[in-house]
Amino acid sequence: MSKPQSPPSLSVAYLGDRFATVLVWLTGLLALALPLAILGFLAVRGMHVMCWEFLLSGPSGVPLGSAGGIGPAILGTLYLVGMGLAVALPLGVGGGIYLSEFAPCAFWVRLLEFAAECLGAIPAVIYGLFGYALLVVFLAMNISLLAGGLTLGMMMFPIILIGSRAALAAVPSLERESALALGVSRSWVARRILLPRAWPGIAASAVLAAGHAAGSAAPVMFTASTVFTVTNPAMTTPVMTLPTHLYNLVSEAVSFDHAYGTALVLVVGILLVNALSMLLRRRLPEHY
Amino acid sequence: MPNSPSLAPTLEVRDLQVHYGRSSALTNISCRIPSRQVTAVMGPSGCGKSTFIKTLNRTLELTPRARVRGGSVLYRGHDIYASACNVDDIRKQIGIIHQRPVSFPMSIKENVLFGARFHKLVRRADETDYARKYLERVGLWNEVRDRLGAHAGTLSGGQQQRLCLARTLANQPTVILMDEPCSALDPAATRRIEELIIELERDYTIVIVTHNMSQARRVSRNALFFYDGRLMEAGPTQQIFEDPRESLTREFVTGQIG
């Protein structure tokens, strides 16, 4: 007679399975809890400075930034990101169309994708140094909106290129084939069919890149930012930005209340941008 | 070499060989496709029917790893695989309808005009009349006349297949290839497409791939029977069905293989 087996509830396999289930649940909850905790922490510490004056007026007080608001920093960030997008969006989408429709062979596609992924993985501070050396010094653009916008454009370019390529590749190949079977050119197909189909994915990657750029201090620190401005942003003058303003408030111990308020505005802005990106992705073809 | 009867061919295939990667898909195919007649391409699944018709307008090149490794396809006496041949012109002259109707993400009217605009076959002022002409040709005009601006995706499967046919006809081709055009349609829509094929035979050379032997008998005058990447028999449809020369053909038309 064989030895009786232990009931399922006590077996090692069952206990191991329960342990693994609990572990993956906990790690999953951590992914939700961490951003919520950061947002909650910033809300608790920074919410009391939040008012229209904080959002719209410039910094004031002694030391500068201990009173007043972050209006010029919000405006400067929007101008910089807008300018970066104006450069990176056409280049990134063009590169995505090339990789998806015109690249001569799979090896070439893999090589260019690898290069774009490497470009996307370069630390933001390196973009800052490169932008400073090339744009600010070599091309004599000085520290300005133009130099900072172009630096952010360089940083956004690989993100938009990779996202555009993926969105275009997600368009059903039968549509591409049916269109090309009519004897039309690939650029005609790209303009009339692929871009209308892929635009939610392209827009999502652009929004994601914009959110990433808006939150980065390093690329604009040496190329565009200043501690204080009173004029509206102009191409040839430096601008205030949210991340560099936050850096100044904390590193100079100017005002931690204002620093938390600034961080709250930045994080909520980036969350909204990411939510918009997710919404756009949901409009892609089903198999994306 | 199996050949169809000696009618003036629009297309002539000589010793065609096609590979997908390293594996052979079609071996030494030679045949003639007569002008202004319907030719059915029959055979069991995986025998190379779809591959064959895609070689006739160079859309096989759009399939990754597919290559024509030898032979030639002559359209009106000219090799369409010659380096001097313009592939866009070939695809304009020899249109193709796919198994599943593929409407583009635009309006019904824009769908019809998609290729015609590129090839400058229509002036902007005449676009609606031009679209109407081809929608009438496929019997779709009365069903869509009040919603030409509606998204093509709102049409039924059968209507979309007729829209695809109108879009191909608007390109002013001389040959129409059809890759199982009724396989995704209900019987009523299938009957409508078959009626259209018979109507269009007056003006176009048509090659239709079909699994449905009854359909092949109803719509075609000539037939090609493929088996395992080889053309086993070609001839008038009636002869293929009633007095096939090859035993494999007999087994296929009597339903013993398929």
Per-position pLDDT tens, chain B of length 258: 344 444 567 899 999 999 999 899 999 999 999 999 999 999 999 999 999 999 999 999 999 889 999 999 999 999 999 999 999 999 999 999 998 899 999 999 999 999 999 999 999 999 999 999 999 999 999 999 999 999 999 999 889 999 999 999 999 999 999 999 888 788 888 898 999 999 999 999 999 999 888 999 999 999 999 999 999 999 999 999 999 999 999 999 888 877
**Separation in Å, CA of B198 to nearest CA in chain A:** 22
Question: What are the backbone dihedrals phi and psi of residue B183, each rounded to the nearest 5 degrees, phi first?
Answer: -65, -25
**pLDDT of amino acid B9:** 73
Q: In chain A, whose CA is at the least distance from the CA of B120?
A: A184
Query: What's the structural domain count of chain A?
Result: 2
- Confidence category of residue A288, pLDDT binned at 50, 70, 90: very low
How distant is the alpha carbon of residue B40 from its chain centre? 9
A101 to chain B, any CB pair closer than 8 A? The answer is no
**Separation in Å, CA of B183 to nearest CA in chain A:** 16
Residue A258 sits in the same domain as residue A161: yes
**Separation in Å, CA of A287 to nearest CA in chain B:** 16
| Within-domain flag for A141 | yes
pLDDT digits (tens, 9 = 90+) for A95-130: 999 999 998 888 999 999 999 999 999 999 999 999
Mean pLDDT of A59-69: 88
**pLDDT of amino acid A85:** 96
**Separation in Å, CA of A39 to nearest CA in chain B:** 41
| Within-domain flag for A253 | yes
Residue A99 sits in the same domain as residue A26: no
Residue A90 has pLDDT above 90, yes or no: yes
Residue A148 sits in the same domain as residue A230: yes
- Confidence category of residue A3, pLDDT binned at 50, 70, 90: low
B104 and A175 in contact by Cβ < 8 A?
Answer: yes
**pLDDT of amino acid B113:** 97
| Within-domain flag for A4 | no
B88 and A183 in contact by Cβ < 8 A?
Answer: yes
- Confidence category of residue A8, pLDDT binned at 50, 70, 90: low
Question: What are the backbone dihedrals phi and psi of residue A8, each rounded to the nearest 5 degrees, phi first?
Answer: -55, -35
Measured between beta carbons, the chain B residues lying within 8 angstroms of A188 are 118
| Within-domain flag for A82 | yes
| Within-domain flag for A28 | yes
Residue A102 sits in the same domain as residue A239: yes
Asked whether the CA dihedral B232, B237, B239, B241 is positive or negative, the reply is positive
Residue A134 has pLDDT above 90, yes or no: yes
Dist CA A96 CA A102 (whole Å):
10
Residue A22 sits in the same domain as residue A128: no
Mean pLDDT of A57-69: 88
Residue A18 sits in the same domain as residue A137: no
**Separation in Å, CA of B199 to nearest CA in chain A:** 22
Q: Sort B167 into a burial class: Cβ within 10 Å, 0-12 / 13-18 / 19+.
A: buried
- DSSP-derived letter for residue A231 is S
Measured between beta carbons, the chain B residues lying within 8 angstroms of A176 are 62
B105 and A185 in contact by Cβ < 8 A?
Answer: no
Residue A100 sits in the same domain as residue A40: no
How distant is the alpha carbon of residue B126 from its chain centre? 28
B102 and A183 in contact by Cβ < 8 A?
Answer: no
Residue A131 sits in the same domain as residue A173: yes
Mean pLDDT of A246-262: 92
- Confidence category of residue A284, pLDDT binned at 50, 70, 90: low
**pLDDT of amino acid B5:** 44
**pLDDT of amino acid A13:** 87
Measured between beta carbons, the chain B residues lying within 8 angstroms of A180 are 59, 62, 91
**pLDDT of amino acid A73:** 94
Measured between beta carbons, the chain A residues lying within 8 angstroms of B164 are 178
Which value, in Å, is the radius of gyration of the alpha carbons in chain B? Answer: 18
| Within-domain flag for A130 | yes
Q: Sort A109 into a burial class: Cβ within 10 Å, 0-12 / 13-18 / 19+.
A: middle
Residue A125 sits in the same domain as residue A45: no
Residue A38 sits in the same domain as residue A156: no
A181 and B92 in contact by Cβ < 8 A?
Answer: no
Residue A33 has pLDDT above 80, yes or no: yes
**pLDDT of amino acid A286:** 47
**More confident: B2 or A239:** A239
ipTM here: 0.91
* A to B CB pairs, distance under 8 Å: 61
The model's pTM is 0.82
**Separation in Å, CA of A188 to nearest CA in chain B:** 8
- The reply to whether omega before A72 is within 30° of 0 (cis) is no
B164 and A177 in contact by Cβ < 8 A?
Answer: no
A109 to chain B, any CB pair closer than 8 A? The answer is no
Measured between beta carbons, the chain A residues lying within 8 angstroms of B88 are 183-185
The mean pLDDT value of chain A amounts to 90
pLDDT above 90 covers a percentage of chain A that reads: 74
| Within-domain flag for A94 | yes
| Within-domain flag for A5 | no
Q: In chain B, whose CA is at the least distance from the CA of A188?
A: B118
**Separation in Å, CA of B197 to nearest CA in chain A:** 19
- DSSP-derived letter for residue A225 is B
Residue A100 sits in the same domain as residue A203: yes
pLDDT digits (tens, 9 = 90+) for A200-235: 899 999 999 999 999 999 999 999 988 888 778 889
Mean pLDDT of A241-251: 93
- DSSP-derived letter for residue A7 is P
Q: For residue A94, give its domain range.
A: 55-282
Asked whether the CA dihedral B89, B93, B98, B102 is positive or negative, the reply is positive
Query: How many CA within 13 A on the CB side of residue A166?
Result: 20
Measured between beta carbons, the chain A residues lying within 8 angstroms of B167 are 182
Residue type, B174: T
- Confidence category of residue A7, pLDDT binned at 50, 70, 90: low
A191 to chain B, any CB pair closer than 8 A? The answer is no
Residue A18 sits in the same domain as residue A135: no
State the CATH number of the domain containing residue A145.
1.10.3720.10
A174 and B95 in contact by Cβ < 8 A?
Answer: no
- Confidence category of residue A32, pLDDT binned at 50, 70, 90: very high
Measured between beta carbons, the chain B residues lying within 8 angstroms of A174 are 98, 100, 102
Q: In chain A, whose CA is at the least distance from the CA of B177?
A: A181
Mean pLDDT of A264-280: 89
A181 to chain B, any CB pair closer than 8 A? The answer is yes
Q: What's the Cα-to-Cα distance from A276 to each of A149, A165, A197, rounded to whole Å? A: 22, 20, 18
